[in-house]
Amino acid sequence: MTTQFAEAFGFERRDVTLANWRTAPFSPFSFGHAEEIVPSASIAAMAEVSEGAPLRSPLLTQHLPEGLAGQPDVGAYLDYAHTDAFVLMKAGRIVAEHYAPHAGVNQRHIIFSISKSLTALVIATLEADGLIDPDAPVTDLLPEAAGSAYGDCTIRDVLDMRVSLAFDEAYLNTDGAYARYRRATLWNPADPAQPDETLLAFLLTLKKDAHPHGGAHFYASPNSDLLGILIERATGERYADVLSKRLWQPLGAKNHASVTVDAEGTARAAGGISVTARDLARVGEMLRMGGKVEDRRIIPEAWIADMLTAGDHQAWVDGKSNFFPKGRYRSQWYQSGEPDGAFCAIGIHGQWLYVDPSTETVIVKLSSQPNPLDDELKHDNFAFFRALSAWTA
């Protein structure tokens, strides 16, 4: 007998496992239900509110510039790009929304490496209160990091992905350090032939590469998980609770968020957060407004100015990125380097938070893109966002 679940998704719920949850065809379900797959902690909103129906907008039928991935209009592009949830804001107002049949306004969705950018916003508030000094050594808060790659770097090196680290960010690795990393975060099933590790224990095994810290941009997710641990050391509180009190509740988020945790309860600050699309758009709008929501200061204005302007372009170039040729990276956020000042947070499998201050635009796109990276689609998405930003609502 076929269940309603199978009719909706094409497979039974029992078919989704730790071994396959990030792969098609299971990801459209599991990316919206990560808490069912991996142990998770709640990031509480002030009071959860069920939001209303999606906005119906004629913008979804708006024609796209010729040649943009061969798609005739916005709706067709969203389907082409494996979109689960999409929100377009102009001047603080939602002007277009789209949700796949398996998603919805109040449905959380894992945002993968956009989690890094939210983690950095928490760091910003701790810096303002004198609890974290970005220029201090990591070992000031985590003395056991001595002897690891993090034993002689600063927190700023970690924030800007300029740690000298002998590590390969290989998402499809099945038998090396990245596979150990996945198992330590409980994102992959245990390997009976290998010892169990916690996230912190894994991080402390990582070694420095041959060059000094502070050089070329080198993207490595373990850095951001380390930031989550530093947040806990600086505050004496759990990461999820700190994010709730310092970002989620002051933001006015309408839905609780969540973050996956390891066997010790250590948060996957680099990639484990799940939020609704509208709440993520609220983060973008807060940043567009200089760190404020109405008259409430959430993120220090000086921190945002630094994030937007202080990234080292040469470090970005030396890192040999094939994206944002004019770009920079600062405090876990990407700056496009384009004249419009657009900046963004990006996660694998097609997660985006894109802000264009020049046109008062905020865009959220949450996806279940089968290929975790897909550079061609990444460039298509950027062109798509720039086209949307140019429109007047």
Is residue 97 located within the same domain as residue 193? Answer: no
**End position of a domain, from candidates 187, 220, 253:** 220
pLDDT band (50, 70, 90) for residue 239: very high
pLDDT tens digit sequence for 278-314:
999 999 999 999 999 999 999 999 999 999 999 999 9
Q: What pLDDT is recorded for position 172?
A: 74
Our answer to whether residue 113 is catalytic in this structure is yes
Q: What's the number of domains the chain is made of?
A: 2
What number is the average pLDDT over the span 96-123? 97
Catalytic hit among 27, 30, 40, 113 = 113
**142 and 46, same structural domain?**
no
Structural domain containing residue 49: 4-123+229-390
Q: Residue 67: is its pLDDT beyond 90? A: no
117 in the same domain as 146? no
Confidence bin at 393 (pLDDT 50/70/90): low
* 140, 57: one domain: no
- Asked whether residue 179 falls in the same domain as residue 238, the answer is no
Better-predicted residue by pLDDT, 243 or 69: 243
Are 106 and 144 within one domain?
no
Instruction: Quote the tokens at residue 48.
Output: 């959860």
Measuring CA to CA, how many Å separate 96 from each of 110, 229, 278, 361? Answer: 21, 37, 11, 12
> Does residue 289 share a domain with residue 171?
no
Looking at 220, 253, 272, the residue that finishes a domain is 220
Tens of pLDDT, residues 88-105: 999 999 999 999 999 999
Q: Both 35 and 178 in a single domain?
A: no
> Mean pLDDT, to the nearest integer, of 339-366?
97
Shared domain check, 163 and 102: no
Same domain? 282 vs 195: no
Q: What is the CATH number of the domain that holds 311?
A: 3.40.710.10
Averaged pLDDT, 99-117 = 97
Shared domain for 233 and 271, answered yes or no, is: yes
Instruction: Please indicate, yes or no, if residue 151 is contained in any of the structural domains.
Output: yes
Q: pLDDT digits over 10-50, tens only?
A: 999 999 999 999 999 999 999 999 999 999 999 999 988 99
> In this structure, is residue 128 part of a structural domain?
no
In-domain check, residue 83: yes
Max distance between CA atoms of the chain, in angstroms, equals: 61
Give the end of a domain, one of 220, 242, 268. 220
